[in-house]
């Protein structure tokens, strides 16, 4: 474990040093384009406004955030893509409809870009349906309550460890009707159409049958 952590630390050290070097030379030339690591580095050595002796952010913090981003993104993205492709192969009619949408919105001559996403309604439904049946973190990540309280009729004390079983929520027939086990992206159609102007779509997954609540 110690060896792995040392290797990871060396890797991040190298990334940071490369950025420090590039940043210095590009600043001289005046054409510096900042990426995520540059932004983290710009926070290092900023002093705490309440206590001028204390730094807000250190090199170790930057490395910890980088580790968070890498460990949070690799496996999740790969697993989500593999499950979605598996479902598309098992449901050729969905695959066809999706291909049709991509052909008409994006065409055959270029890759999909982020700016296309708001127009790719069916793609969005397919991804949501895939994540409903195959959430990459079935219990999400552990949460901790900040206060005593009651959530979903369960009382908890401050600092309780809370696990949310999103896998079970995604397969609850009371929420998703008796087609719960089916891969059926169209179930998201109503919510998508009525909430088109909502920028955050993550709650669609948990609240799909609760359109009114979701859009209010
Ligand atoms: C299909 C891709 C992804 C899926 C399915 C996914 C899923 C999740 C889930 C379920 C959580 C836990 C949320 C919670 O318990 O409240 C989470 C947290 C997180 N994800 Fe992702 N994720 C994906 C991609 C990414 C990517 C690409 C990044 C970074 C570039 C990322 C960074 C994070 C971070 C930093 C957290 C922790 C947030 C916090 O501290 O509250 N994820 N993700």
**Closest-CA residue to 40 (of 18, 19, 25):** 19
Q: Which of 185, 184, 207 is nearest to 195 (CA)?
A: 207
State whether the beta carbon of 77 lies less than 6 angstroms from ligand 1. yes
The pLDDT, as a whole number, for residue 191 is 54
Domain spans of the chain? Answer: 1-81, 91-216
| Contact partners, residue 163, CB within 8 Å, separation at least 6 | 139, 140, 142, 143
pLDDT at 196 over 80: no
pLDDT of residue 29: 66
Give the nearest ligand 1 atom to 164 CA: 15
Query: Which of 62, 71, 72, 128 is the pocket-test mutation for ligand 1 (most atoms within 8 Å of CB)?
Result: 72
- Expressed in angstroms and rounded, the spacing between residue 202 Cα and the centre of ligand 1 is 11
Does 73 contact ligand 1 (Cβ within 6 A)?
yes
138 Cβ below 6 A of ligand 1? no
Going by alpha carbons, the residue nearest to atom 35 of ligand 1 is 69
* pLDDT at residue 68 is higher than 50: yes
Per the model's pLDDT, the better-predicted residue between 153 and 25 turns out to be 153
pLDDT confidence of residue 4:
92
- Determine whether the shortest distance from the Cβ of 136 to ligand 1 is under 6 A: yes
Report which protein residue has its CA nearest ligand 1's atom 37.
Answer: 72
pLDDT (mean) for 141-169: 92
Q: What pLDDT is attached to residue 63?
A: 93
Instruction: Write out pLDDT tens, residues 3-62.
Output: 999 999 999 999 999 998 887 776 666 666 788 999 888 888 776 777 776 777 888 989
- Would you tell me how many other CB atoms lie within 10 Å of the CB of residue 18? 11
Residue 183 scores a pLDDT above 60: yes
Q: Whose CA is nearest to atom 25 of ligand 1?
A: 73
- Report how far ligand 1's centroid is from the alpha carbon of 56 (Å): 24
Report the pLDDT value the prediction gives residue 190, as an integer from 0 to 100: 66
216 against 3, higher pLDDT: 3
How much is the pLDDT for 209?
Answer: 40
What is the residue-wise DSSP string for 130-189?
HHHHS-SSTT-S-EE-SSSEEETTEEE-TT-EE---HHHHHT-HHHH-TTTTS--GGGGH
Rounded average pLDDT over 110-127: 96
Mean pLDDT of 116-129: 96
Q: Ligand 1, closest atom to CA 141?
A: 15
For residue 61, CA distances in Å to 16, 133, 202 come to 12, 35, 28
196 alpha carbon – ligand 1 mean position (Å): 23
Average pLDDT, stretch 115-130? 96
Would the pLDDT of 179 be above 50?
A: yes
**In angstroms, what is the span from residue 140 Cα to ligand 1's centroid?**
9
């Amino acid at each position: 474990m110690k060896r792995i952590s040392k290797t990871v630390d060396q890797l991040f050290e190298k990334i940071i040093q490369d950025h420090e070097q590039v940043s210095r030379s590009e600043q001289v030339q005046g054409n510096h384009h900042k990426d995520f690591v540059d932004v983290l580095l710009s926070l290092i050595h900023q002093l705490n406004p309440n206590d001028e002796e204390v730094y807000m952010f250190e090199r170790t913090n930057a490395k910890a955030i980088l580790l968070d981003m890498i460990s949070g993104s690799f496996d999740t993205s790969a697993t989500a893509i593999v499950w979605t492709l598996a479902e598309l192969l098992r449901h050729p009619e969905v695959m066809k409809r999706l291909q049709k949408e991509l052909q008409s919105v994006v065409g055959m001559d270029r890759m999909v870009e982020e700016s296309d996403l708001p127009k790719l309604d069916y793609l969005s439904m397919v991804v949501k349906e895939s994540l409903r049946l195959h959430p990459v973190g079935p219990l999400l990540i552990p949460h901790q309550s900040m206060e005593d309280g009651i959530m979903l009729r369960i009382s908890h004390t401050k600092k309780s460890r809370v696990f949310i079983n999103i896998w079970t929520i995604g397969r609850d027939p009371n929420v998703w009707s008796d087609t719960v086990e089916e891969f059926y992206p169209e179930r998201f159609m109503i919510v998508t159409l009525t909430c088109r102007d909502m920028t955050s779509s993550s709650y669609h997954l948990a609240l799909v049958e609760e359109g009114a609540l979701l859009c209010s």
